[in-house]
Amino acid sequence: MSARRLAIRQPDEFTLSAAAKKEINMWVKKFPKGRERSALIPALWIAQKDAGGWLPEPALRLLGEMLDMAYIRVYEVATFYTMYNLEPVGTHYVQLCGTTPCWLRGSDDLIAMLKRKIGPQRSISDDGKLSWLEVECLGSCANAPMVQISNADGDHYYEDLTAESLEAVLDDLVAGRTPKPGSQSGRHTSEPAGGALALTTEKLSQARGKLKKLPNAGKKVAITEHAADPKGVRATSSGRKNTPKTLTPPKPVKNPKPSARKPVSKPQVIYTDGPTDGTPDDLKKIKGVGPKFEKDLNSKGIYYFRQIGAWKVADVKMVEDLIDSIPGRIKRDEWVKQAKVLAKAATKASKTKVKA
For residues 342 and 289, what is the distance between their CA atoms, to the nearest angstrom?
Answer: 13
For residues 250 and 262, what is the distance between their CA atoms, to the nearest angstrom?
Answer: 29
For residues 189 and 193, what is the distance between their CA atoms, to the nearest angstrom?
Answer: 10
Q: What is the pLDDT of residues 303-353, one digit of tens each?
A: 888 889 898 888 888 888 887 766 788 888 898 999 899 988 888 777 776
Question: DSSP 3-state assignment of 80?
Answer: helix
Q: What is the pLDDT of residues 272-291, one digit of tens each?
A: 555 666 688 898 898 888 88
Per the CB < 8 A criterion, the answer to whether 121 and 81 are in contact is no
Question: For residue 30, what are the contacts with CB-CB under 8 A and spacing of at least 6?
Answer: 38, 39
Per the CB < 8 A criterion, the answer to whether 94 and 114 are in contact is yes
The answer on pLDDT for 237 being more than 50 is no
Split at pLDDT 50, 70, 90, the class of 251 is: low
Distances (CA, A) of 70 to 28, 76, 184: 17, 10, 46
For residues 258 and 268, what is the distance between their CA atoms, to the nearest angstrom?
Answer: 28
Q: State the distance between the two ends of the chain, measured CA to CA, in whole angstroms.
A: 66
Average pLDDT of the segment spanning 5-21: 93
Q: What is the pLDDT of residues 138-191, one digit of tens each?
A: 999 999 999 999 999 999 999 999 999 999 999 999 999 999 999 999 888 888
- The angle, 0 to 180 degrees and rounded to 10, between the axes of the packed helices 57-66 and 40-50 is 140
Calculate the CA dihedral of residues 30, 31, 34, 36 and round it to 10 degrees. Answer: -70
Give 54's DSSP letter: S
Q: Which CATH homologous superfamily contains domain 92-183?
A: Glutaredoxin (3.40.30.10)
